[in-house]
Structure 1
């Protein structure tokens, strides 16, 4: 494979433009100078990226704790898809790319579940199974300011061990102008989309905003709207965690491990985001201030996932193995039992997030009181579709197994040669693009529904005391009420989904297209992308989607048969259903209902004194937090009335009596002291110190007693071995309302040197002593009966009757399976690191003709002794660093600004780090180091019009992962370059 990166024309254009700008700017600057001399102008108002950097520096300088601040132009300084991209340029913050854009952030080596986010100081919720907000829901165009609190204060809401990110929208009365209208339009282009089936190359972004001050500047109004409609394009190779190979030639007594799944996909779709903000501010005098704010966003994606999957590859017969370190398969020929699927997957995701609040503040002399009420809600509907086809041929008399349509599955061969973090070579003996041999064997839709909402009220008092070293006293109380619900739905068709009476369906030129590969992936084999919805409609029309087996009606329930004694049609609706012999019971049982009530109160004082003739200031306080959390789940009690067995019905009206609703809960109270000090060494040198006890609550879905299959809580029967005469009973309570927060004691130091108004150099060091964190453990073949679990001796399982070819129900033995649980590990550990940042304008360092240059740079180093288990436990690296921890990261933005011309070139680097990938069965994997480069050139005219050209991910940096060792490939994927051509107008 050729590893040289393609350098497109746009990259050359941007680089040339950056070099040409200083010379081009001189004439404009000279013209401005002449105009200034003639007009006698005495004041120049600095705007743009440079001004926003200086504003951020000034905010950092005035802060009473260790913070990072980014402001409006800084946020929009590069082609940011969302606020997550803006945050990625802050020292100590790294991101995880999903679909090409930054989605989750990590702060100081801790993953997104330890990052607490607020909007105007108010708690926010997420539409997707967790406590951390979806940062890609928040367009950078509508966010006015972001503050990253790296050290806490008692007056801040608890919840961020890594840090607290506060998003702020504009306060209309702070606007310098009476009225301001602004519009922005960007046309987008993705150069990878041409290589992805079903993906368009272009899209757009539109932003409109209005701000107005009325009634002698006592009433302020603002409205904003942002729309994003742009394609997503991903080409991906994936090898799953290795498993023990069962049949390998030449025969060896060594344990050989091979990937359990090998697959490659083209993933394309459309992302649409509509976001709205509104704010009203009333300030009739200096005593009363009233402000109401609302933020609302709708985010939807429709994505297709087309490609090929070799599933269960570790269990195939394997020849010509190529091994690394004696035990790890990185190349081979697979044959005999191969399970080759052509996949036509799809995902539709519809989310909405609402954040609203009302704040009333009254000031009287030396004291003030503020009341704040807020509500945040989010809902998510994600429907994952997994549709599979296999290569078949018509049966002959010699074939031992034939489908009911007269076909038998072809047993092909696969030749695979892995290449570590590069793309592998792979070839198939059978064609995957032949309409005569490919047939759909499984259709599956698996929606997830979630809703999360929190309401909160708080009251804060502030008194200016000015007594001794105590300047200000603050105290207050906050109460919040949160509820999270979660549900599943399902519809399945086809013999591959467990409904053995369903039949495979043909794929024709009217229901499929031949798809090939381009670019670096062009050596992958062509395949057919098929329309699974159309094929399912065909199966319904041919009366093939039935409630039970027409060849074994003796196993049908009475209400599954019509008056003629034939099975009735099966509903194709995606609903929660028990399914055939409870085969889909997980869709009913995976229901989460969590309530969380919190009462917190705090006391905080600002202090100021002199030490060695220098000012020492800061704050000290304590926050007391009481929590009441509870959850309700569905458990299998095998119909025992003593265990409250109840009739529970699915969405199809079918009921079962062997389950029970079970509720659990927990209460606890904790104190969180904090101290922040700032010592002014000189007028431009500050030494800061922070110490605090901090916490992060478990992800909200982890408090739920649900998800018996997806790795959550509950007991379940694994019937995958039913054909061998037994099933296993398993129990998991990795999700539990008894889980307590992740806690740490942290100490922070920071030295800051300010170059007047020209820049800042800062060094920060921190140490987090982890006191408690959540850890998962598993015990295989656990003796459940000896430990008081009630489990039956036999289980009615559905197996295939070899004589009739139909399904039969037969009792099989129940054996002990695994017991998986989560605990609050109190052994602890540490996370520590150092951050350096330097922002500088270079006017004083360079000749006048080079004036306008500057840079913003940072590097961060993180270390920790905390590890997690590698999902591939037999790896030479059995443990991973703590998820989210990149031991090195850095950012560099070089900018030029003069005479209306601006140019910026930014690079973002992060070393390898562990992050989970996937939603349904996410696993931790090591993502390799990467450098992402963005650029922008713009020109601002005097009439308020700006034109700009932006590029995102200029080098099409691949996203790669591995299972502990680089030769054990995880993911290799590319997202393409995003090019933006835009126009801004304001007046």
Structure 2
């Protein structure tokens, strides 16, 4: 009976459902228009009161809310609810979403959940909205991977949100832009829980890598007046975090670039024997250059080699018995073998505010506001064994069947220190006003209006200090774990003889700004189950990335101020077995702050991407029908509609033509019709079958559209440029599935899904008229102007432009997902589990199928997670495990080696959450314990082969002990 009451309430009450528990079909479709607008009629209030009598509490209650929301939905959705204001089930929003079937979580190098992918498509194919308004963040994570449309979720405190809903199938009224799905984040409002309430939370966090204790806490207060006409909610959250990461990076792997002499071939007449012919280096790569003759260095002499000896084929074979010259040529070593250590601050302060005004039963107003700022520092230190462009001479080298070097003595080896004490500040604010009006005698005409605006800003400064060690001889080993070495050098001795020879310094900054604004209106004729809806939406989104670089000027002063003879006094023994720099003294002595502040704009930031900006203005309109019917005496709910959207874009960035740097703007536009249909049929009292068919879209990668125009020859015949005419990714989708609801929070669900995605891009060549390049003819060099005139002049000449182009083909994504939530009260009161599994297969088709196969990566073919939980009135324990299969993380031809791809290893993580309520005390405080990554699992990717690590990060385990309660 309680479940039936809850379902009825969820279908009809759109605002007063406690804790944001309003995910009925109508609400799921209307959240983009008016979030949880209240219903004031007396019968509806009675039903909400009944819903409040659900017997379970805590995590089980949030599960039951999610189960009921899924049952009432028409399309394919999954939700996560807070059990109370400020009591979200997880510490990180991305971690919460990871419990939903088909969700793949991307983690930062410190193990923190960052952003999500849905059902086999990359993170940028997921659209994220807060209270119906689109979200764009300027943050980029520790490894700077956010170059597209990803949203970093670690900016947002979980305490501020009552509900997360993942729409895996669209409705016409849902904001477009997510081929894979839309994540709707619903922030708390005062009428979610009428009355006066104050929720507090305080935790101490300890990470076993950083070995620091840091605090975090939140305070949220809400109030509504007795008349039920006005309410206010205000909250604050603060984190003073510390990171500690131990890792290892190689920046790819490389092999020797052998010369004619070294591979035993006679060069053609007039060709130097020291050239590196392709026939000696058939495997590509060639970043490691073995010297032509033995250098005259003590360390090389000490290894038994005679200075001046020509290093030819026989010499190399003699030094490495048992290997052929081809094996030596293909021998793989790290480009930069470097242990990495990170430590620093991860501070975040955030505010939330929400105000609701209900002057009458026919008009409700709300205003939601969110602000978050983060200050992050990272004292990143690594010591590098030089492989790329290095001159090591191999002795006694051994390789495995894949060509990976497993053991060797390398003489003429060298190390360098790379110290990067970067600092980053991020800010984000969002404001979301809206209103709902009811018209007509029965209030069966409803108008929702809403606006939103947001801005996110980031500035990161990344200085680098790089000094080289003396040359040495090392014993190198790689037995499948991480490459290691033994050396006679004391790399932790500032007086070792470190030098600027081959070293450098950098002062590189990055600034990012994202801005969004929008307005939407939705007019509904009919009640919340049977209605016709028409609406429009206007959205404007802008993003700008700027890189700044003043390295050359700073380096000139550094080398003049701190010569090799004084370098040791600016170095210090480090905490990890190799030196570090005295950063404060170094920066002050070399006027670092001045060079940082005066850094001119560069072609792109050090984190990747290109300097430039994009502005997208979008206008959408839709019509949607929601209805119910009986089929064979069983209720069928359906939703049908079509959304039309048109986008005008301006893409701008710096270009250098004829030696002159200028800002160029390119324009483009496109439009799409996006139909959708969903139906849910209650074939039995506890069984729901679903079907959905739709067309969705995601806009192309902004980085692929930035101008960056460069002529590659003096005839102006060939150029490279971004492509503003890239069309969106579009997908034709079909989903079918159903659920069996077994009581309380329990159910079993199965979904089969298929997406046919078109519009994937690859690096191609377009022949376009010169005038379409957007470059003034007079800005070309004299020779380029002459060449253009010889081809008919600027009005007729064409140019071959290398740029990203849309592939002629499609990517078919087929998969299935299953979920099982099962209370086990018959075994032990309060016991239960939830588990889900997703299987995904990708199938490129069409003329460019091969190109598509090489451009789709980062997708785990199998995902699963499981949670066992137990709770009673005072205690709870929850143990969760998530698993992701190995992923292909890049296309082939890494570091010039044709077959090589980066592969992320499969990974599982075990987490614990527990609480005990001191019910006899005021506010019934809960003692909470969370342990993240209990088994200390690392994150690792490999350079094609499992014993050729690409990067490896150990974030350690994190323990949080705290207290929370409510008045």
Cα displacement (A) at 1:428: 3.1
CA distance in 2, matches of 1:852, 1:360: 41
Q: Deviations over 1:502-559 (max 9, x none)?
A: 8645677864432354xxxxxxxx211112442243345xxxx9xxxxxxxxxxxxxx
The equivalent residue for 2:238 is 227
**1:185 alignment partner in structure 2:** 202
Taking structure 1 as the reference length, what is the TM-score of the superposition? 0.75
Q: Of 746, 760, 773, which residue of structure 1 is paired with 2:733?
A: 746
Q: What's the counterpart of residue 245 of structure 1?
A: 256
Q: Matched residue of 1:284: which SS?
A: strand
Q: Which of the numbers 565, 590, 593 marks the counterpart of 2:613?
A: 593
SS where residue 885 of structure 1 aligns? coil
User: 2:516 pairs with 454, 462, 470, which one?
Assistant: 454
Q: Which residue of 1 aligns with 2:162?
A: 144
What is aligned with 2:886? 912
User: Any idea what SS the aligned residue of 1:965 has?
Assistant: coil
* Aligned equivalent of 1:361: 436
Of 87, 112, 131, the residue aligned with 2:123 is 112
Rounded to whole Å, the distance in 2 between the matches of 1:276 and 1:429 is 54
Q: Aligned match of 2:361 in 264, 279, 286?
A: 286
Tell whether the 8 Å contact from 2:499 to 2:567 is kept in structure 1 after alignment. no
| Residue 323 of structure 1: how far off its partner (Å) | 2.3
CA drift of 1:307 comes to 1.9
Cα distance, 1:417 vs. partner? 2.0
* Cα distance, 1:924–1:427 mapped onto 2, change above 3 Å: same
1:477-521 Cα offsets, whole Å, 9 max, x none, are: 11112222221222326998899878645677864432354xxxx
Distance in 2, Cα, partners of 1:600 & 1:731: 36
* 1:81/1:101 contact within 8 Å kept: no
1:193 partner SS: coil
Question: 1:785 maps to what in 2?
Answer: none
Match of 1:929 among 902, 906, 911: 906
Return the alpha-carbon distance in structure 1 between the equivalents of residues 514 and 605 of structure 2: 24
In the alignment, what sits opposite 2:111? 100
Aligned residue in 2 for 1:14: none
Summarize the alignment of residues 265-280 of structure 1 with structure 2, pairs less than 5 Å apart.
265-280=340-355
For 1:933 and 1:856, the matched residues in 2 are separated by: 14
Q: Confirm whether residue 203 of structure 1 aligns to residue 214 of structure 2.
A: yes
Q: Residue 572 of structure 1 is aligned with which of 575, 578, 595?
A: 595
- 1:419-458 equivalent positions in 2, closer than 5 A: 419-420=479-480, 422-436=481-495, 437-439=497-499, 441-458=503-520
The equivalent of 1:50 in structure 2 is: 60
**Pick aligned residue for 1:418 from 456, 461, 478:** 478
Q: CA separation of 1:693/1:75 partners in 2, compared to 1, >3 Å: closer, same or farther?
A: farther
Hey, what does 1:663 align to over in structure 2? 665
**1:279-428 alignment runs, 5 A limit:** 279-313=354-388, 315-319=390-394, 320-325=396-401, 327-336=403-412, 338-364=413-439, 365-391=443-469, 410-420=470-480, 422-428=481-487
Q: In 1, distance between residues paired with 2:236 and 2:483?
A: 45
Shift in CA distance, 766/820, structure 1 to aligned 2, threshold 3 Å: same
Contact 2:547 2:611 in 1 (8 A): yes
Structure 1 residues 631 and 141: alpha-carbon distance in aligned structure 2, compared to 1, 3 A threshold: same
> Match of 1:683?
685
The 3 A distance-change label for structure 1 pair 87 and 44 is closer
1:706-725 correspondence to structure 2 within 5 Å: 713-715=708-710
Q: Deviations over 1:822-846 (max 9, x none)?
A: 1111311211111111111111x32
- TM (norm. structure 2) is 0.77
User: Residues 946 and 286 of structure 1: is their aligned pair in 2 closer, same or farther, counting only changes over 3 Å?
Assistant: same
TM-superposed CA distance for 1:89, in Å, is 1.2
Deviation of 1:732 after TM superposition, in Å, equals 3.9
- Flag the 1:615–1:381 CA change in 2: closer, same or farther, 3 A: same
Partner of 1:87: 97
Alignment correspondent of 1:857 = 835
Given that residues 88 and 158 in structure 2 are in contact (C-alpha distance below 8 angstroms), is that contact kept between their aligned partners in structure 1? no
Question: What is aligned with 2:585?
Answer: 534
Cα pair distance change 1:226/1:370, threshold 3 Å: same
1:390 is displaced (CA, Å) by: 1.5
Partner residue of 1:698? 700
Q: Secondary structure at the match of 1:375?
A: strand
2:750 maps to 1:763: yes
How many residues align structurally?
Answer: 798
Instruction: Quote the offset at 1:228 in angstroms.
Output: 1.1
1:638 corresponds to: 658
**Aligned-residue RMSD, C-alpha:** 3.5
- Residues 267 and 305, structure 1, Cα contact 8 Å, conserved in 2: yes
- Cα distance 1:893–1:585, how it changes in 2: closer, same or farther (>3 A)? closer
Q: Is the 8 A contact 2:822 2:833 kept in 1?
A: yes
User: How much has 1:571 moved relative to structure 2?
Assistant: 5.2
- Check if 1:900 corresponds to 2:900: no
Tell me how far apart the structure 2 counterparts of residues 375 and 941 of structure 1 sit (CA, whole Å).
42
Matches within 5 A, 1:966-977: 966-977=946-957
Counterpart mapping for 1:124-163 below 5 A: 124-128=135-139, 129-163=147-181
Q: Which runs of 5+ in 1 are unaligned?
A: 1-41, 195-200, 392-409, 518-525, 546-569, 640-657, 706-712, 719-725, 780-787, 795-817
Structure 2 vs 1, CA of residues 792 and 114 (structure 1 numbering), >3 Å: closer, same or farther?
A: farther
1:575 offset after TM fit, Å? 3.5
SS at match of 1:736: coil
> Whole-Å Cα distance in 2 between the matches of residues 536 and 187 of structure 1?
34
The answer on whether the counterparts of 2:508 and 2:596 sit within 8 Å (CA) in structure 1 is: no
Partners of 2:249 and 2:853 in 1: CA distance: 21
Alignment partner of 2:545 out of 461, 467, 486:
486
Rate the CA distance shift 1:257–1:363 in 2: closer, same or farther, 3 A.
Answer: farther
8 Å Cα contact 1:242/1:314 also seen in 2: no
Q: What is the CA distance between 1:333 and its match in structure 2?
A: 3.6
In the alignment, the residues of structure 1 paired with residue 527 and residue 446 of structure 2 have an alpha-carbon distance, to the nearest angstrom, of 12
CA 168–445 in structure 1, closer or farther in 2 if over 3 Å, else same? same
Report the CA distance shift for 1:612/1:45 in structure 2 as closer, same or farther (over 3 A). closer
Q: Deviations over 1:208-239 (max 9, x none)?
A: 00011115111111011111111111111112
- Structure 1 residues 611 and 862 mapped into 2: Cα distance closer, same or farther (>3 Å)? same
SS at match of 1:951: strand
Query: How much has 1:411 moved relative to structure 2?
Result: 2.4
- Superposed displacement of residue 971, structure 1: 1.3
1:62 deviates by 1.0
Partners of 2:916 and 2:619 lie apart in 1 by 52
Aligned to 2:4: none
Structure ranking higher in strand proportion: 1
TM-superposed CA distance for 1:902, in Å, is 0.7
CA–CA distance in structure 1, aligned partners of residues 821 and 451 of structure 2: 38
Compared CA separation, residues 979 and 509, structure 1 to 2 (3 A): farther
**Structure 1 pair 972/946, CA: closer, same or farther in 2 (3 Å)?**
same
Q: Partners in 2 of 1:240 and 1:867 — Cα distance?
A: 32
Deviation per CA, 1:853-912, whole angstroms, max 9, x where unpaired? 0111111111112499xxxx9xxx997683331111111111111131111111111111
C-alpha distance in 2, partners of 1:981/1:837? 31
- Select 1:960's aligned residue among 912, 917, 940: 940
Contact 1:246–1:314 (8 Å) recurs in 2: no
- Cα distance in 2 for partners of 1:910, 1:577 equals 43
Deviations 1:314-358 (A, max 9, x none): 64334133323354445444444x452112112211111111111
Q: Indicate how the Cα distance of structure 1 residues 636 and 510 shifts in structure 2: closer, same or farther if over 3 A, else same.
A: closer
